[in-house]
Every structure is written in C-alpha cells, then in structure tokens.
Amino acid sequence: ATPAVATATSTTAANPAAPPAPNPAPARRTPMDYIFGKVIGEGSFSTVYVAKDIHTHKQYAIKVCEKKHIIREKKTEHMKREKEALNILSNAGVPFFVKLYCTFQDTDRLYFVLSYAKFGELLPYINRVGSFDLACTRFYAGEILVALEHLKRLKIIHRDLKPENVLLDENMHILIADFGSAKLNYNVNTARTTTRTSVNREDQDSGSERARRNSFVGTAQYVSPELLTDKTATHSSDLWALGCIIYQMIAGLPPFRSRSEYIIFQKILKLEYEFPQGFCSSARDLVEKLLVIESTKRLGATDSNNYTSVRSHPFFDGVDFDNLHLATPPPIY
C-alpha cells in the first residue's frame, strides 16, 4: 500500500466522493496586506516600519529597501545573506532572534516582514540608566551568550553585534537583529571578510583585493582585532563584541572610545582600555577573558558544545541558561 494512493482516495465527511481539497500555496503577500505605521529604524540601506497585518491584526516590523539603492551601493550580497541568515534562524525556531515571517517585493522595493521588537534597542536603556545593576547585566549577557551559542551551532557569524542590534520584545527578552554583515556557513574556522563601518560598508564579494584590504566589517567600537589585522572573522569575533557589551552595560560606555575611528582601531589593537572604579571584579575577570587579542585564546573560543566555559565563569553563577527565555527579566533601573 502506498501512502500516495491512500491520500488520493481520502474523502471528506461532507462529501464522501469528493477528491481531497488541494492545499493551495498561500497567496503571495503585498504591501497592501499591511497598514504601515511609523518609522522605527533607519539604516543606510533600509527603513523599518511598524506595520499591522490587515488580516490577523498582528504587528510586525517591516524592513523596506529601495532596489535602486541596493544595486547602486552594491549591497545585493548583504541582502541575500541577511535573508538567508534570518531564514536559517527562523526555521531553527530558536529564541533571541528577530524572526523573518515572509519577504516580497514590488517594482522598486524589497520587503522583509520581521518580528516587532516592541521595546526597541538595548542601547537607550544602557544610556538612560548609565549603568545596569549586576542582575540586569548578568541576565542580558546570559541571553546574548545563549544567542551566540545558537549562531555557532548554525554556523553563522553575526559580525556586527552591538547594543543597537540587540532589540527587546514585549516581554523584555532580547531579539538580535541586523544580519546584513553576517557570514554564513563558512568553511573551516576562518571566514575571509570584507567589512566596513556601519556608515561606509561596501559589498563583500564584489570588490578587488584592494577593496578587500581597504574595507572592514562591523562597527568600530565592537570590531575585533582579527578583523582589523587580517580581515578574518571567527565565532570568537562575536565573543569579543560580547565582552565589549558586558563592559558597556556596567560602565555605561564601550571600552574602546574616541571620536576618531582610527584611534578606536589603534586602541583595540593595543588592548588599550580601563575599568572604572567600582567595576564588579567577577565581571572584570570575564571581560578580561573575552577581550583577548588572540582570538583562539578568548574564553569559549575552543568550546565544542555551547559556550560551556563562558557559562561556567563565576560572573554567571546561578544563571539557568537553558530557561532564560522563560524567565522574567529583572527590571532595568
């Protein structure tokens, strides 16, 4: 007996002789399926709107990109990578990432329908309170760490992790966004990158060797030394960024600061940063073990499953990593 025959002859209670109703492909969505609201995010290549699905009344964030602009700025590979990374993460069903619900296009624009992060970016919360208490820092650092474990397992390097790309959902849990700089399914342990600043990126795969040398990925303050020296990103490049974010949650500002990007890069390469008075000593120890120039020597860099050695650091004592997504986040004061 073949299942195909059984399916083909199945009947409905209402009409025993009727062939089974075909399962029609869902109609392609268009901008008309949504009511667009205010702008909630603006990047160099996209505008994000809050939007309501007219059928379900559910809210989404819709990222809209002008095709002309994408082509002019040679960002087609970025767009493809972002869509692919979001598809991998959405299909994996893992928490802590914005989900991609669907994509569509019209003559002039591309549309990404994403989960709406109701409480926006983590950055203004850090700036507003000046410094997170240890419970908050531990909680959000823990959620970011679990997110990085999912990325490692799925062979995705984010490459532009920063508090602006850590969004907060309606329950104040994190949703990591912006995979336009991501490296996917790289082979071996290193991924050649062509990266640049958030303000001046260029297309990764189209440039000449000179363009590659002259370009860099990510955002100056959070970029890892290996990205600056040999344009090579590994999963531990994201661990470096986590170290910068943990420092920032406690100190209020990122560790490597200057008005000049060039000076920031010099400071990163020299590991030139200081801890303010009163910085929690176990947090300091963790940051010092993440902000290590040699990428393979960072805490977690050689972990095979998850980031067990980072989980085990005393700063995270008592954290139930596997249930963070179910926990009630500590209030941010």
The site that binds ligand ADE (CB under 6 A) totals a number of residues, namely 12
The single residue among 85, 148, 157, 167 that binds ligand ADE, judged by CB under 6 A, is 167
- Nearest CB to ligand ADE, comparing residues 174 and 310: 174
Minimum Å gap between C-beta 332 and ligand ADE is 17
**Active site amino acids:** 160
Candidate segments 28-36, 111-119, 218-226, 239-247, binder of ligand ADE by CB under 6 A: 111-119
Whether 155 has a binding-site annotation, put simply, is no
- Nearest CB to ligand ADE, comparing residues 161 and 264: 161
State CA 291 to chain mean position distance. Answer: 20
Q: Check if the beta carbon of residue 203 is closer than 8 Å to that of residue 75.
A: yes
Does 100 interact with ligand ADE (rule: CB under 6 A)?
no
Does 114 interact with ligand ADE (rule: CB under 6 A)?
yes
Look at the block and give the residue holding tokens 């990103």.
233
Candidate segments 5-13, 113-121, 238-246, 259-267, binder of ligand ADE by CB under 6 A: 113-121
The single residue among 116, 140, 256, 265 that binds ligand ADE, judged by CB under 6 A, is 116
The single residue among 100, 177, 241, 287 that binds ligand ADE, judged by CB under 6 A, is 177
Minimum Å gap between C-beta 199 and ligand ADE is 17
Binding mask 181-210 for ligand ADE (x = CB under 6 A): ------------------------------
- Nearest CB to ligand ADE, comparing residues 63 and 138: 63
Site for ligand ADE, residues 40 to 79, rule: CB under 6 A: 40-41, 48, 61
Task: Please compute, for residue 57, the number of CA atoms within 13 A of its CA located in the half-sphere on the CB side.
Answer: 0
Minimum Å gap between C-beta 108 and ligand ADE is 21
**Where on the chain is the footprint of ligand ADE (CB under 6 A)?**
40-41, 48, 61, 98, 114-117, 120, 167, 177
Annotation: binding site: 63
